[in-house]
Amino acid sequence: MSFYTHITDPLLFACKLTKTVYNKKQGLLIWLPDTQSVMDFDNRLWRFEAESFIPHQVLNINKSLTLNTTDIIIGSGSPPKDCPLQTVLNLSDYFFGNDIQFNRILELIEHNEQSMNNARDRFRAYKQCGFELEHFNMEHKS
């Protein structure tokens, strides 16, 4: 469980993190607050770099996807059951603490007081669930 705090542009940081995961040939479930956020991030990920792209899919509850462990998937709502992806990048307020199917959960925290307060609450909740927690202060790095 990793918290990245003081991020000035969470979506840009998420794109960079997604690229890193993709280059390592690992899979990633990117979780967003709602359908509009999914569509916005989908567009941003396609335009992230002019000279390359990060292949990904949008999880649609009306369409069945066969997921592989190296896929990059974007979604919202309730996470899929029996997801083969090991890592989730949480860009929403969804609490993954009761969802033990993921080996790693990444939380991105924007550089503002409200986001930090919400993150503190989630940090405590994850700790109470027994997660091993890491904190990365990105104030001068993002």
In a domain, 126, yes or no: no
In a domain, 117, yes or no: no
pLDDT at residue 77, as a whole number: 86
DSSP H helical ranges for the chain: 10-23, 35-46, 113-128
CATH number of the domain encompassing residue 36: 3.40.50.10110
- Are 16 and 141 in contact by the 8 Å Cβ rule? The answer is no
pLDDT at residue 53, as a whole number: 82
Residue pLDDT, tens place only, 18-45: 999 999 999 999 999 999 999 999 999 9
pLDDT at residue 68, as a whole number: 77
Q: How many domains does the chain have?
A: 1
Residues of the chain with pLDDT under 70: 61-65, 99-100, 142
Q: What is the domain extent for residue 92?
A: 2-109+131-137
In a domain, 114, yes or no: no
In a domain, 125, yes or no: no
In a domain, 101, yes or no: yes
In a domain, 7, yes or no: yes
Tokens linked to 21: 């995961």
Q: What are phi and psi of 36, to 5 degrees?
A: -65, -40
pLDDT at residue 70, as a whole number: 81
